[in-house]
């Protein structure tokens, strides 16, 4: 019987990528009981959205059709939504708009099949949902409400418009085991009425359709929104992050012996006598990379990057491996982490703790004074870390701290060699055009009780640069090694930016007097025929930026150097970053735009990233002389899933930080702050507070003294009479007027300077 993939490929080759059932029976020579197998295969392909049955027995390949599209529904709080298509759509600019009456059929995040109803001359498209292919939410977290006609839950995600009605006769879930102060109050609930206002997790029994509410049952009570730790628990469940290890994975981790056998040690390169160190943050609990640098007799540098050999302990297909793949990555919240591996591995057996033997997979690089790798070797080894260093300590040593230089006297010269090599590697990346965004990261500060007390800029110094440069070098070396051997692998790719996004940024940069310096962008011109609502045909010309146009990373790099230290640096760096595509994992190497690297992978963090673990397995088999384990199709599935779990983790981490910021600001309503305008819209402009990494909106209808309008061509908010302007990059004084902690929204108003009168004017 023909496979699903072969069947789809066969239909794709037919005229207009269409076929009917009888045609397929004849062309594929299918008879007898095999008819049922064909019917099942067609049903599976339709269920996945690869095919659509336009009428009984007639099938079309959706990815080759201009009429249909498959993707995720991105819902808006106002009820309408957009289709984020799995593939680029011909003549369509941006995402496909889904009107409210159609969007109500599904929930935010659902994978759906859509018919493209209309494409406007400017490329905007409208569509209608035909079928829900995959549900995004088996559970929903929200606030429990007790109503006159029954109980219901209001989802915390405002993109999920439908409330979840609770089935009658619901039993109160038992209290969570080992709450660790999280949701302690929930353990005392004895009646449904006491659950009013509490955060709960609901299993959906009947999904909402056509604007109706869904039906579900409460499976977990987390506590009140202000209870300690509930915010983290809420985000974990909202983003469906696996957070409890199944018992088989726990049992497997606990069964791994801590001692390393003599036979295993004998089969590895022994680095235990070398002064190898780990360098991490003060609060780090897992150490998966260690480094060593020396100067060779020929004047070149020897760089050893030792990475925890997680693949030795986590075998493919085992209980730990299955759970690690499901998680894809560790998730790091400000005051808690959700690890990819059980703690027995992540913070013990695989962690390169000082003074104990640990198994590693090592990249041994010889680097010249130009930063080029002139020789490389990869090997399985064993190390015994000499010191657990922190970024703060290494930075202080390199800055001349006498006490620390005395304490670590044998290591001082080695740290200075590390700095020298890191700067050489950085200059090499700069020469080839790598983009170095030094964007400030917010660091949440807590008191001894775990309560947030402030937000500050996360420190970054030369010690961070050391590790960053060494890890980049190791990742590039491994990627190039496997690619040169033709071994299927996973790559970390960053594709060239979309021409339209680049031009949008170029327009904003021009208002500040800057340019990416790439010249005019070529466009393609199309003539299309459209049908109006009354059935008439219109022929229109459409211009679309030529997708073959590519900008070089060097253009970005030069602009970053131009704006360094300037008042507009913060805003333009942020907008430049938004103009770029997201990096992702792929089985096909397409290079890394931001790093200006032709071949790049993730190899250096197998404790917290599943793709690194896969690359370790691939490299280990190559070193052992064994054939590749993975096919390109298998790697495609792993890469796509890991890209999804990475985005899920990043969104949860970002959202929790915004949640904590909003709650921190509740007690500061009425205070005034200096702020920077970072974006403008038709409904106002967003500001970032200069003393805190906190953003909020100044609504356009609150601006004083005039009626203001948004001018899209200049991206400015301008007073109709006064012609007063508010533009990106302007500094303003604002007052915090309102905080919506649940929606994580802060609203500000502009503070006007006091009017000078003759009475309050100071005498000179």
Which of 453, 455, 430, 435 lies closest to 444, judged by CA?
A: 455
Pair type for strands 199-206 and 139-147: antiparallel
Can you tell me the mean pLDDT for 572-577?
Answer: 87
- What are the backbone dihedrals phi and psi of residue 594, each rounded to the nearest 5 degrees, phi first? -65, -35
Average pLDDT, the chain: 88
Can you tell me the mean pLDDT for 94-118?
Answer: 90
50 has pLDDT over 80:
yes
Q: Residue 483 in contact with residue 588, Cβ under 8 Å?
A: no
Selection from 262-271, 528-537, 684-693 with the highest mean pLDDT: 262-271
Count of C-beta atoms within a 10 Å radius of residue 306 = 29
Q: Say how far apart CA 303 and CA 195 lie, in whole Å.
A: 59
pLDDT for res 191: 80
Chain region(s) in the chain for CATH 2.40.50.140: 66-134, 669-750
Q: Say how far apart CA 231 and CA 88 lie, in whole Å.
A: 37
Can you tell me the mean pLDDT for 386-394?
Answer: 96
Q: What is the pTM of this model?
A: 0.86
pLDDT for res 240: 94
Selection from 17-21, 228-232, 371-375 with the highest mean pLDDT: 371-375
Identify the residue with better confidence: 450 or 686: 686
Q: Is 224 exposed, middle or buried (0-12, 13-18, 19+ CB in 10 A)?
A: middle
129 has pLDDT over 80:
yes
Which of 542, 333, 344, 528 lies closest to 443, judged by CA?
A: 333
CA dihedral 212, 215, 220, 226 (to 10 degrees): 20
Q: Residue 638 in contact with residue 610, Cβ under 8 Å?
A: yes
Dump pLDDT digits (tens) for 698-719.
999 999 989 999 998 888 999 9
Dump pLDDT digits (tens) for 52-101.
888 777 888 888 778 888 889 999 888 899 999 887 787 787 789 999 98
Dump pLDDT digits (tens) for 741-756.
777 789 999 998 765 5
170 has pLDDT over 60:
yes
Q: Which of 133-142, 361-370, 537-546 is predicted with the least confidence, judged by mean pLDDT?
A: 537-546
Q: Which of 406-415, 507-516, 589-598 is predicted with the least confidence, judged by mean pLDDT?
A: 507-516
Q: Is 474 helix (H, G, I), strand (E, B) or coil?
A: helix
Partners of residue 586 on adjacent β-strands = 491
pLDDT for res 761: 44
456 has pLDDT over 90:
no
Chain region(s) in the chain for CATH 1.10.10: 4-63
pLDDT for res 184: 45
Q: Which residue has the tokens 């690890």?
A: 339
Which of 497, 495, 678, 679 lies closest to 579, judged by CA?
A: 497
All residues at 6 or more sequence positions from 166 whose CB lies less than 8 Å from its CB, including other chains: 144, 150, 151, 152, 153, 202, 215, 216, 217, 218
pLDDT for res 529: 55
Q: Residue 142 in contact with residue 164, Cβ under 8 Å?
A: yes
403 has pLDDT over 80:
yes
763 has pLDDT over 50:
no
Which of 186, 144, 195, 137 lies closest to 166, judged by CA?
A: 144
CATH 2.40.50.140 is the classification of domain 669-750? yes
360 has pLDDT over 90:
yes
pLDDT for res 181: 46
Query: What is the CATH T-level fold of the domain 4-63, as seen in this structure?
Result: Arc Repressor Mutant, subunit A (1.10.10)
398 has pLDDT over 80:
yes
Chain region(s) in the chain for CATH 2.40.50.700: 139-238
Identify the residue with better confidence: 159 or 749: 749
1 has pLDDT over 70:
no
Q: Residue 697 in contact with residue 758, Cβ under 8 Å?
A: no
Which of 383, 378, 453 lies closest to 619, judged by CA?
A: 378
Identify the residue with better confidence: 60 or 365: 365
Q: Say how far apart CA 420 and CA 409 lie, in whole Å.
A: 18
Q: Which of 257-261, 415-419, 727-731 is predicted with the least confidence, judged by mean pLDDT?
A: 727-731
299 has pLDDT over 70:
yes
Can you tell me the mean pLDDT for 522-551?
Answer: 54
183 has pLDDT over 50:
no
Q: Say how far apart CA 176 and CA 188 lie, in whole Å.
A: 11
- What are the backbone dihedrals phi and psi of residue 218, each rounded to the nearest 5 degrees, phi first? -75, 125
Identify the residue with better confidence: 285 or 182: 285
pLDDT for res 536: 54
CATH 3.40.50.1820 is the classification of domain 66-134? no
Identify the residue with better confidence: 713 or 576: 576
pLDDT band at 226 (very low <50, low <70, confident <90, very high): confident
Q: Is 575 helix (H, G, I), strand (E, B) or coil?
A: helix
Q: Say how far apart CA 699 and CA 407 lie, in whole Å.
A: 56
Q: Which residue has the tokens 């909106």?
A: 697
Q: Say how far apart CA 340 and CA 286 lie, in whole Å.
A: 11
Q: Residue 717 in contact with residue 685, Cβ under 8 Å?
A: yes
17 has pLDDT over 80:
yes
pLDDT for res 454: 79
Q: Which of 251-265, 286-300, 528-542 is predicted with the least confidence, judged by mean pLDDT?
A: 528-542
Q: Which residue has the tokens 């146009």?
A: 549
pLDDT for res 264: 95
Selection from 27-36, 49-58, 454-463, 474-483 with the highest mean pLDDT: 474-483
What class is the 139-238 domain? Answer: mainly beta
Q: Say how far apart CA 472 and CA 314 lie, in whole Å.
A: 25
């Amino acid at each position: 019987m023909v496979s699903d993939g072969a069947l789809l490929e066969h239909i794709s080759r037919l005229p207009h990528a269409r076929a009917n059932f009888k045609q397929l029976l004849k062309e594929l020579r299918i008879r007898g009981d095999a008819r049922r197998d064909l019917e099942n295969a067609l049903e599976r392909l339709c269920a996945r959205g690869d095919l659509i049955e336009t009428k009984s027995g007639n099938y079309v390949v959706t990815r080759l059709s201009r009429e249909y599209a498959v993707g995720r529904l991105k819902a808006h709080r106002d009820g309408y939504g957009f289709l984020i298509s799995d593939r680029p759509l011909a003549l369509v600019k941006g995402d496909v708009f889904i009107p409210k009456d159609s969007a109500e059929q599904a929930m935010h995040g659902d994978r759906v099949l859509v018919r493209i109803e209309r494409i406007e001359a400017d490329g905007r498209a409208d569509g209608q949902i035909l079928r829900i292919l995959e549900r995004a939410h088996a559970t929903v977290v929200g606030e429990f409400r007790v109503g006159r006609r029954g109980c219901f839950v209001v989802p915390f995600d405002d993109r999920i418009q439908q409330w979840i009605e609770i089935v009658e006769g619901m039993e109160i879930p038992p209290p969570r085991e080992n709450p660790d102060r999280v949701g302690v109050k929930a353990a005392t609930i004895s009646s449904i009425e006491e659950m009013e206002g509490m955060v709960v997790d609901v299993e959906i029994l009947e999904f909402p359709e056509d604007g109706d509410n869904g039906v579900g049952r409460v499976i977990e009570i987390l506590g009140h929104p202000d209870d300690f730790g509930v915010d983290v628990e809420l985000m974990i469940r909202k983003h469906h992050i696996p957070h409890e290890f199944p018992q088989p994975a726990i049992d497997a981790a606990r069964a791994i012996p801590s001692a390393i056998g003599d036979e295993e040690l004998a089969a590895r390169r022994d680095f235990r006598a070398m002064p190898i160190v780990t360098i991490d943050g003060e609060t780090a609990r897992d150490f998966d990379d260690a480094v060593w640098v020396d100067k060779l007799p020929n004047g070149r540098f020897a760089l050893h990057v030792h990475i925890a050999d997680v693949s030795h302990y986590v075998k493919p297909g085992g209980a730990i491996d299955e759970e690690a793949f499901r998680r894809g990555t560790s998730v790091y919240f400000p005051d808690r982490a959700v690890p990819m591996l059980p703690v027995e591995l992540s913070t013990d057996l695989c962690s390169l703790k000082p003074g104990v033997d640990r198994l590693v997979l090592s990249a041994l690089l010889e680097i010249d004074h130009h930063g080029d790798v002139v020789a490389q070797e990869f090997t399985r080894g064993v190390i015994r870390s000499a010191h657990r260093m922190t970024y703060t300590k290494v930075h202080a040593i390199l800055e001349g701290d006498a006490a620390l230089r005395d304490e670590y006297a044998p290591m001082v010269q080695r740290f200075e060699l590390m700095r020298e090599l890191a700067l050489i590697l950085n200059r090499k990346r700069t020469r080839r055009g790598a983009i170095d965004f030094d964007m400030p990261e917010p660091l949440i500060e807590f008191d001894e009780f775990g309560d947030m007390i402030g937000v500050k800029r996360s420190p970054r110094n030369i010690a961070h640069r050391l590790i960053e440069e060494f890890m980049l070098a190791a990742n590039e070396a491994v990627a190039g090694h496997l690619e040169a051997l033709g071994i299927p692998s996973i790559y970390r790719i960053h594709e060239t930016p979309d021409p339209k996004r680049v031009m949008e940024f170029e327009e904003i940069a021009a208002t500040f007097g800057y340019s990416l310096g790439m010249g005019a962008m070529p466009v393609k011109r199309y003539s299309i025929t459209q049908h109006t609502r009354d059935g008439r045909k219109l022929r229109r010309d459409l211009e679309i930026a030529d997708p073959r146009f590519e900008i070089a990373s060097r253009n970005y790099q030069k602009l970053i150097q131009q704006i360094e230290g300037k008042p507009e640096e913060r805003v333009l760096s942020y907008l430049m970053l938004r103009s770029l595509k997201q990096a992702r994992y792929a089985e096909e190497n397409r290079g890394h735009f931001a790093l200006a690297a032709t071949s790049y992978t993730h190899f250096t963090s197998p404790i917290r990233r599943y793709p690194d673990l896969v690359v370790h397995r691939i490299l280990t088999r190559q070193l052992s002389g064994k054939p590749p384990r993975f096919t390109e199709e298998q790697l495609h599935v792993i890469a796509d899933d890991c890209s999804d779990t990475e985005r899920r983790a990043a969104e949860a981490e970002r959202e929790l930080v915004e949640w904590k910021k909003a709650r921190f600001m509740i007690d500061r309503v009425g205070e005034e702050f200096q702020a920077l305008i970072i974006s403008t819209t038709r409904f106002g402009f967003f500001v970032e507070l200069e003393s805190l990494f906190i953003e909020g909106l100044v609504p356009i209808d609150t601006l004083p003294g005039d009626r203001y309008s948004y001018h899209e061509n200049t991206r400015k908010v301008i007073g109709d009479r006064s012609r007063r302007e508010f533009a990106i990059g302007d500094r303003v004084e604002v007052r915090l007027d309102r905080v919506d902690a649940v929606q994580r929204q802060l609203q500000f108003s502009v503070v006007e300077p006091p009017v000078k009168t003759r009475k309050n004017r100071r005498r000179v």
